[in-house]
Structure 1
Amino acid sequence: MSDTPASVKEQVGRYGIWNVGLRSEDPARRGAIAEAAAELEELGFGAVWLGGNSATRHATPLLQATKRLVVGTSIQSIWDYTAEDSAAGYAEVEAAHPGRFVLGLGVSHAKLAEQYRRPYSAMVAYLDALDAAGVPVERRVLAALGPKMLQLSRDRAAGTIPYLVTPEHTARAREILGSGPLLAPEFKVVLEEDAERARTVARGYLAMYLQLPNYTSNFLRLGFTEDDVRGGGSDRLIDAVFAWGSESRIRERIEEFRAAGADHVVVQVVTDAEDQDALPVQEWRRLAALLA
């Protein structure tokens, strides 16, 4: 048997879960988070990606509660954590849980980061600093939408974790990345068969993202129009970036990403829960069953 460590691509498997609630620092939620992480591992998901501006400290409780699950940040903003702090956090979690943490980095958005300047150059400098601090290329991934950041994901990281994309974007990303790097797009699912209810839930969730030019510009590159990104999003846009409908239809939509070149599809279950940190455990169980 080889002693060569498994690559991130080999570790994460076909499907992962993206969630914000699993990064909660509320002490009252610790038990529920640990139980949810253990169940996600048991359900067969290979990785959990912590939404929001997450960091290594948010991954630790999930790693402690599981044996094999890979945990990644999706994403850690380069503006809010210095490369030195990221390297120190990585070293600590790697020592405690070898080979199970992935540092997912991103440049966030101008509306969310006051320091936002020349994001590509800033990411290059950040990766230079991580190299100097000894953070392995194979344990970091980048949030990438446009061609330049995708190329950087190919050349300076283990791959990419694009957020709010379509299978068409995945196909373009695979052409840029080549066959080796990890391509792990996030995809949103509403477990609802009624079109009106599903689209209402989806629009409520998408509204914030349609205020962020990084996403809307990417939609325009993919062939959507200005009308598609106004007013909460057209039906065409909603139906492209969310899966809803019968369980067989939802599975088909998820598999479209794999057919387009994704190695690992990161599924985010979207509900109409008022508490955005609520853990959709029942929905995760349904999702696992339909993907089995």
Structure 2
Amino acid sequence: MQLAGVGIWSSQLRYGDPAVSVEAAAELEELGFTALWIPDVGGPVFDALSSLLQATEQTVIATGILNLWMHEPADVAANYNKLVAEHGDRILLGIGVSHAPLIDAGEPGRYSKPLASTRAYLEAIDAADQPVPVERRVLAALGPKMLQLSATRANGSHPYLVTPEFTAQARTALGDGPLLLPEQTAILTTDRDEARAIGTDWLRSYLGLPNYANNILRSGFTQEDIDTVSDKLFDSIIAWGDEDAILRRVGEHQAAGADHVCIQVLGADPNEHPRRQWRRLAAALK
């Protein structure tokens, strides 16, 4: 799977009104986005994938990411192959180890040894009656060891909440072959106060998770940047402005070695599908 171009990462496509999600997915395909990415923070993820696959004909449907603590490897392999048989070979499984505060909240102490747990999970998928091909899976990788694993046991990496500078470092770590598919958060407004009102609390919720905070620190930011959600950090993680500003950031990721960039659009209402903004970005891409 040689995924290129620009895609859409959307929690609304997974957890929003199902009828609107189906309609929006069909429109996003018509608009030319090459992949649709959905998160996995609980619930039947393969039902969601099936719905989006039925709504589209050629677009890649991807998980960003499938939470390995929430799904048995054998079930993942069986469901993946069932969907491939029904809809063709256009499913990409992004697999990730999630975050200790989220996993341990329901079962304290369950989250342990993320690298070893990911490796064991992939081995279990490989041992299934019908495995998920290595070429059809990528890993949520931020640290150097997980990036190495994504290059050897998967078809690359889907990093989230990263800068173009991180993308360049990840490309060096991965080498030339594996896919590099970063997510880029965007807010379509030229008003800094509006951007801050939409994005600050959203970003702060991620900065409270150690995996992201540690990667931010490795990327050259300070603890004060994290604690205050500084303008420097905000502007580096979230692309805001007009269409040209958003696509300029996408271009920076591509110049740094990204094969494909998936844009997550934030709006004033986090539950609403940002269809107007998606249309604006699609028009600018043409």
TM-score range, shorter-chain basis? over 0.9
Secondary structure at the residue paired with 1:230? helix
1:94 to 73, 77, 84: 84
- Change beyond 3 A, Cα 1:277–1:246: closer
Describe how 1:264-275 pairs up with structure 2 within 5 A. 264-273=260-269
Following the alignment from structure 1 to structure 2, what is the Cα–Cα distance between the partners of residues 267 and 290? 13
Aligned to 1:137: 134
- CA shift digits 1:163-208 (9 cap, x unpaired): 0000011001000111111100000000000112112211021121
Residues 1:184 and 2:172 aligned together: no
Following the alignment from structure 1 to structure 2, what is the Cα–Cα distance between the partners of residues 33 and 204? 25
Quick one: which amino acid aligns to residue 242 of structure 2? S
- Change beyond 3 A, Cα 1:201–1:14: same
Following the alignment from structure 1 to structure 2, what is the Cα–Cα distance between the partners of residues 52 and 166? 22
Q: TM-score, normalised by structure 2?
A: 0.94
Describe how 1:1-292 pairs up with structure 2 within 5 A. 7=1, 9=2, 12-24=3-15, 29-53=17-41, 55-114=45-104, 115-133=110-128, 134-231=131-228, 233-273=229-269, 276-292=270-286
Q: How many residues align?
A: 277
Following the alignment from structure 1 to structure 2, what is the Cα–Cα distance between the partners of residues 119 and 167? 25
Secondary structure at the residue paired with 1:49? strand
Quick one: which amino acid aligns to residue 6 of structure 2? Y
**Does the CA contact (< 8 Å) of 1:158 and 1:182 recur in 2?**
yes
Following the alignment from structure 2 to structure 1, what is the Cα–Cα distance between the partners of residues 271 and 87? 25
Secondary structure at the residue paired with 2:7? strand
Quick one: which amino acid aligns to residue 129 of structure 1? A
Following the alignment from structure 1 to structure 2, what is the Cα–Cα distance between the partners of residues 53 and 116? 15
CA displacement at 1:161 relative to structure 2: 0.5
Quick one: which amino acid aligns to residue 43 of structure 1? L
Following the alignment from structure 1 to structure 2, what is the Cα–Cα distance between the partners of residues 251 and 48? 17
Secondary structure at the residue paired with 1:152? helix
- Percent of aligned pairs with the same residue? 50
Following the alignment from structure 1 to structure 2, what is the Cα–Cα distance between the partners of residues 149 and 277? 32
Following the alignment from structure 1 to structure 2, what is the Cα–Cα distance between the partners of residues 148 and 20? 28
**Does the CA contact (< 8 Å) of 1:47 and 1:70 recur in 2?**
yes
Q: TM-score, normalised by structure 1?
A: 0.92
Quick one: which amino acid aligns to residue 241 of structure 1? I
The gaps in structure 2 that reach 5 residues or longer are 105-109
**Does the CA contact (< 8 Å) of 1:199 and 1:235 recur in 2?**
no
Following the alignment from structure 2 to structure 1, what is the Cα–Cα distance between the partners of residues 147 and 249? 23
Secondary structure at the residue paired with 1:68? coil
Secondary structure at the residue paired with 1:117? coil
- CA shift digits 1:1-34 (9 cap, x unpaired): xxxxxx2x2xx3310100011112x7xx232111
